[in-house]
Each structure stands twice: as structure tokens, then as C-alpha cells.
């Protein structure tokens, strides 16, 4: 390894360390920190972000990258990929002043605390000025880059490298009428009863059962933990410290189980990374859509499948005998897959979930291009909920305030959830060709072969390949919704007798 490559890796390792330290502070902010600590935490995060930005964008880094591009020309090698990804990140980061990074971090920390209060009081007016600030900062961020086909492209590229707004809209425009037609057919069929899921379940027992499930999946509690937070998330401090958070909702108590599976999917991706990529630009997943394909796969294609509950339902019934007395496996399976438009995205069924994402995408695009006014957001949100899902949120908490992402200024993010659903189905078709007895393994509570398939095909490559490239390498085609439509149609035709 050349002296210059060693020097570049040394600097990039320090930048990674600063980012991971900021992640620790962010995790603590949501899990442990008292509300009064928000302003100081914002300054601390701003300082770390500023130092990392200045270190990464130093002239020395650019010179090293340019020299090493000539030395490591094979993009298939780890060194060639690392330099390519570092160069891409460097070029983008050089455009963003470190002072702006600090300003955005402070604004995000304040906005998060305002969002928590606004959501608890169901009052958008509390959050509105902070969201307006975040959106203005996002527009300022866009201004640092050359004009794109659409200004939203700049934001989308941060989360889904190479993806364009027009591509996402094309995928969604193809998918939307098919999902709407499926939902219409389901609405006209005999409906599923799920009232027993909304009883009062013991919180600690539900929590313990969630950990039992993810331990079976292969989540290593020696390298991770599950804590409570206002919104479930996964965060990575190192390949040997990957944590998840969860929450308990009294009106949907078993949602905790599916949130755990979802966040575990993210965590398995991070835990399955190549240790050699630690502290380099290749660490972590390649994009949010690929990350979401992992979380949605474990949550839905595994966790909401009949074989899965053939294994776990007897144990769940034993844990909650009075709650599930007289509820057959078949009725339980149908209930957890009931299609019913809902206000809360994270609790939405598979048939309606993507419509939540499409709604948010259109709102985000409107915020970015200025075609909608932030003050009108609650009304716009409610109108789109009526148009997309046929329901109207009763208050701001169940409407415009339900997601945490805008408090962090994370605009450009939401479409990756639906893209992740689509990719999960593409991968699932390939997995079932390669693992012939997958259903039988799941039925026995055996997940090792599935987990190791994902590790070998996806996880171990980290950020080495761009998202479209890795999907094509594994499935033979780029991101395409056909497999997802086939999956939804078959599943719900069986459940609803379509």
C-alpha cells in the first residue's frame, strides 16, 4: 500500500471517527438527554460537524485523491472503489462551507426539540418556524451546487447516489395506479377483523418478545442494544456497536414487534459489513433505498409471512393467553396484514404504505421549489391524505407532525422507503430461487442461511457499489416495481380471496 494511500486513509479515518462521535451524541439526545440539553447539544454537534467538514475538505485530501486516482484505476478493487467514493464525497463537501454545516446542525437540534413538543401537544404552530428555517437552509444547500434538472435532485443524490427526481416519479407513476387498483379490490372484498390487536398488552412482555425475535434473526446483543426513543431508528458507532431504538404505542401495542424487526434489518446490514472498510468511505450501506430494502424485508417479507408466524405464534399466544384466546393462527396472520388506510406511516400496511411515501415526496418537492407555503402544510397534508388514502387526520400529531425527518432537515429522504420496498421484492424473488426451502427454514425459526445470503450478496460490500449497480449485480435488472406488484398481488389475493 502506497504512502499516499495510508495518509488518505488516516485522514478519512479521523473524519469517520468524528461522524461516529456525533452519532453517539445524536443517539443520546433521543434516548437519554433531558429536554433542557437541546441547545448545548446542538452546539456540540455543530462543532464536531465543522471539524469533520474542515478536515475532509482540506486541500491535502483533494491532492491525495487526485494522485491516487492515477495509481488505483481499477474500480473493482477496494482501493479503487474507496478513492472513487471519497472523490465523490470530497467534491460535494468542498461546495458546502463548514460554517453552514455548523449552522444546520444547530438548527436541526433546536428543531428536533420543537418537534417533540409540537407532536406531544399536536400543535404544528410550535414547529412551523423551525421547519421554515430548516427548509431555507435546505434551499441554501442546493444553491451550493450546479443547477440540476430539478433542485430536488441535489437532495435526493445525498441519500440515493445517482438517482434523479424524474426517475423516482416515473417508478412511482407506474406503481401508483396498480396499488390503487389493488386497494380498491381489497376494499370490495370481505374485510379482516383485527380488533384483538388493539387490546391492552403488557408493554414489557411485548418488548421482551421483540428482542426474542431479533435475537433469532441474528442481532448480536454483544454488539448492539435496543432502547426507547420517540421514533424508532438504527445508528452505527462501529461494526461492533450497532444500536436500535423502538417505542411502545398503546393503541397499536404489537407494532413494537414489527418496528424491532425493521430496525434489526438495518442493523444486520451494518453488522454484516466488511471490517476492513471500517473508518473508510466504504463503511455502512450504499444508499438508503438499499438499507430500506433490508429493513422492510425482515419486517414484512419475513415478519408478516405465514411461515414466520407458524413458528412464533404459539409462543406469542403462550405469552398473552388471555389476549389471544380463541384467535387462530390464520386469523392472526390476516389481522397483522389487514389493509386499511391509516394515519401513521410506520404502522401502515404493505398495500397502502407506498402511498404515504408518494404523498411526502410531493410535499417535499413543493417545499423545495416553493410551490407550497409552510404555513399551509397541515391543510395540504390533510388534503393529500384524503386524495391518496381517503382519510383525514384528526390532529397534527397524526398528520403533518408524525415524522421526525424534517426536524433534522432531512429532506430528500422519503422516497427511499418506497424504493426500498421495491428492491426488497426484487431481492426476495432471487433469494427464493437460490434458497429452495426458505419457507421451511422460516417455519422452523431458522434464519441463518437467509442472513448469510444477504451478507454475501449485499452487506459485505458496504458502499463499494452504487445502489443501482448492486441491485443489477444481484438480480440482473435495475430498480423495477414489477416484482413488488407480483408480491403484493399474490399475498393479498390469498388473504382476501381476490
pLDDT at 14: 98
pLDDT over 90 at 388, yes or no: no
pLDDT at 390: 86
pTM of the model: 0.89
pLDDT over 90 at 345, yes or no: no
User: Which residue, among 409, 370, 414, has the nearest Cα to 104 in the 3D structure?
Assistant: 409
pLDDT at 422: 96
pLDDT at 476: 95
pLDDT over 90 at 314, yes or no: yes
pLDDT at 404: 87
Percent of the chain with pLDDT over 90: 86
pLDDT at 109: 87
pLDDT, one tens digit per residue, over 93-151 is 999 888 898 899 889 989 999 999 999 999 999 999 999 999 999 999 999 999 999 99
pLDDT over 90 at 433, yes or no: yes
Which of 79, 263, 292, 364 is labelled catalytic?
A: 263
User: Which residue, among 270, 252, 265, 344, has the nearest Cα to 301 in the 3D structure?
Assistant: 265
Confidence band (pLDDT; 50, 70, 90) for 152? very high
User: What is the average pLDDT score of the chain?
Assistant: 94
- Residue 232 near residue 178 (C-beta atoms within 8 A): no
- Annotation says 14 is catalytic: no
Confidence band (pLDDT; 50, 70, 90) for 1? low
pLDDT, one tens digit per residue, over 361-381 is 999 999 999 999 999 999 999
- Residue 182 near residue 489 (C-beta atoms within 8 A): yes
Q: How far is CA 99 from CA 11, 47, 61, in A?
A: 20, 10, 19
- Residue 352 near residue 342 (C-beta atoms within 8 A): yes
Beta bridge partners of 119: none
Rounded mean pLDDT, 49-56: 92
Percent of the chain with pLDDT over 70: 100
Beta bridge partners of 89: none
Query: Residue 392 and residue 123: Cα distance in Å, rounded?
Result: 16
Residue 439: how many CB atoms within 10 A of its CB?
15
Write b or e for each residue in 257-293: b if 16 or more Cβ atoms lie within 10 A of its Cβ, otherwise e: bbbbbbbbbbbbbbbbbbeebbbbbbbbbbbbbbbbb
Query: Residue 201 and residue 253: Cα distance in Å, rounded?
Result: 6
Phi-psi sector, 274: left (phi>0), alpha (psi -120 to 50), beta: beta
Confidence band (pLDDT; 50, 70, 90) for 231? confident
C-alpha cell at 121: 401537544
- Residue 393 near residue 385 (C-beta atoms within 8 A): yes
Domains of the chain listed by start with CATH number: 3-147 (no CATH), 165-496 (1.10.1370.30)
3-class SS letters over the chain: CCHHHHHHHHHHHHHHHHHHHHHHHHHHHHHCCCHHHHHHHHHHHHHHHHHHHHHHCCHHHHHHHHHHHHHCCCCCCHHHHHHHHHHHHHHHHHCCCHHHHHHHHHHHHHHHHHHHHHHHHCCHHHHHHHHHHHHHHHHHHHHCCCCCCCCHHHHHHHHCCCCCHHHHHHHHHHHHHHHHHHHHHHHCCCCCCCHHHHCCCCHHHHHHHHHHHHHHHCCCCCCCCEEECCCCCEEEEECCEEEEEECCCCCCCCHHHHHHHHHHHHHHHHHCCCHHHCCCCCCCCCCHHHHHHHHHHHHHHHCCCHHHHHHHHHHHHHHCHHHHCCCCHHHHHHHHCCCCCCCCHHHCCHHHHHHHHHHHHHHHHHHHHCCCCHHHHHHHHHHHHHHHHCCCCCCCCCCCCCCCHHHHCCCCCCHHHHHHHHHHHHHHHHHHHHCCCHHHHHHCCCCHHHHHHHHHHCHHHCCCCCHHHHHHHHHCCCCCCHHHHHHHHHHHHHHHCC
Confidence band (pLDDT; 50, 70, 90) for 180? confident
Q: How far is CA 299 from CA 102, 210, 468, in A?
A: 36, 12, 22
- Higher per-residue confidence, 361 vs 498: 361
Residue 250, classified by CB atoms within 10 Å of its CB into exposed (0-12), middle (13-18) or buried (19+), is exposed
User: Which residue, among 280, 334, 291, 286, has the nearest Cα to 493 in the 3D structure?
Assistant: 334
CA angle in degrees (0–180, nearest 5) for 174-354-295: 120
Residue 318: how many CB atoms within 10 A of its CB?
9
pLDDT over 80 at 347, yes or no: no
Residue 468: how many CB atoms within 10 A of its CB?
21
CA angle in degrees (0–180, nearest 5) for 261-191-398: 55
pLDDT over 70 at 41, yes or no: yes
Amino acid at each position: 500500500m502506497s504512502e499516499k494511500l495510508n495518509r488518505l486513509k488516516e485522514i478519512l479515518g479521523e473524519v469517520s471517527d468524528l461522524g461516529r462521535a456525533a452519532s453517539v451524541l445524536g443517539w443520546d439526545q433521543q434516548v437519554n438527554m433531558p429536554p433542557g440539553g437541546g441547545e448545548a447539544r446542538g452546539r456540540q454537534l455543530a462543532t464536531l460537524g465543522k471539524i469533520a467538514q474542515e478536515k475532509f475538505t482540506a486541500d491535502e485530501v483533494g491532492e491525495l485523491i487526485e494522485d491516487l486516482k492515477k495509481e488505483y484505476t481499477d474500480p473493482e478493487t477496494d482501493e479503487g472503489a474507496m478513492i472513487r467514493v471519497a472523490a465523490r464525497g470530497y467534491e460535494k463537501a468542498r461546495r458546502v462551507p463548514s460554517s453552514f454545516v455548523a449552522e444546520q446542525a444547530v438548527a436541526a437540534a433546536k428543531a428536533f426539540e420543537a418537534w417533540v413538543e409540537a407532536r406531544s401537544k399536536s400543535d404544528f404552530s410550535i414547529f412551523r418556524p423551525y421547519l421554515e428555517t430548516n427548509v431555507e437552509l435546505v434551499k441554501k444547500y442546493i444553491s451550493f451546487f450546479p443547477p440540476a434538472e430539478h433542485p430536488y435532485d441535489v437532495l435526493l443524490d445525498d441519500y440515493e447516489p445517482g438517482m434523479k427526481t424524474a426517475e423516482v416519479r416515473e417508478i412511482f407513476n407506474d406503481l401508483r395506479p396498480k396499488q390503487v387498483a389493488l386497494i380498491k379490490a381489497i376494499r370490495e372484498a370481505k374485510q379482516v377483523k383485527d380488533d384483538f390487536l388493539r387490546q391492552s398488552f403488557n408493554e414489557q412482555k411485548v418488548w421482551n418478545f421483540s428482542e426474542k425475535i431479533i435475537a433469532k434473526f441474528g442481532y448480536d446483543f454483544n454488539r448492539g442494544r435496543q432502547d426507547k426513543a420517540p421514533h424508532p431508528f438504527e445508528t452505527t458507532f462501529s461494526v461492533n456497536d450497532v444500536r436500535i431504538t423502538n417505542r411502545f404505542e398503546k393503541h397499536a401495542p404489537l407494532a413494537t414487534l414489527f418496528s424491532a424487526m425493521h430496525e434489526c434489518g438495518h442493523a444486520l446490514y451494518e453488522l454484516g459489513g466488511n471490517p476492513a472498510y471500517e473508518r473508510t468511505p466504504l463503511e455502512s450501506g450504499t444508499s438508503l433505498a438499499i438499507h430500506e430494502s433490508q429493513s422492510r424485508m425482515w419486517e414484512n417479507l419475513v415478519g408478516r409471512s405465514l411461515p414466520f408466524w407458524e413458528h412464533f405464534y404459539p409462543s406469542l399466544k403462550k405469552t398473552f393467553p388471555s389476549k389471544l384466546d380463541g384467535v387462530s393462527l390464520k386469523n392472526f396472520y390476516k389481522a397483522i396484514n389487514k389493509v386499511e388506510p391509516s394515519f401513521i406511516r410506520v404502522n401502515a400496511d404493505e398495500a397502502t404504505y407506498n402511498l404515504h411515501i408518494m404523498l411526502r415526496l410531493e410535499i417535499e418537492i413543493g417545499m423545495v421549489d416553493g410551490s407550497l407555503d409552510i404555513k399551509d402544510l397541515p391543510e395540504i397534508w390533510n388534503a393529500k391524505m384524503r386524495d391518496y388514502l381517503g382519510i383525514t387526520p384528526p390532529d397534527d400529531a397524526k398528520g403533518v407532525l408524525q415524522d421526525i425527518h424534517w426536524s433534522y432537515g432531512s429532506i430528500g429522504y422519503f422516497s427511499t422507503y418506497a424504493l426500498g420496498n421495491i428492491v426488497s421484492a426484487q431481492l426476495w424473488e432471487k433469494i427464493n430461487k437460490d434458497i429452495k426451502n426458505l419457507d421451511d427454514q422460516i417455519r422452523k425459526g431458522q434464519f441463518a442461511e437467509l442472513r448469510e445470503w444477504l451478507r454475501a450478496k449485499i452487506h459485505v460490500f458496504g458502499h463499494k457499489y452504487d445502489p443501482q449497480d448492486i441491485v443489477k449485480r444481484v438480480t440482473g435488472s435495475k430498480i423495477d416495481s414489477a416484482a413488488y406488484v407480483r408480491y403484493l398481488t399474490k399475498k393479498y389475493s390469498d388473504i382476501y380471496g381476490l
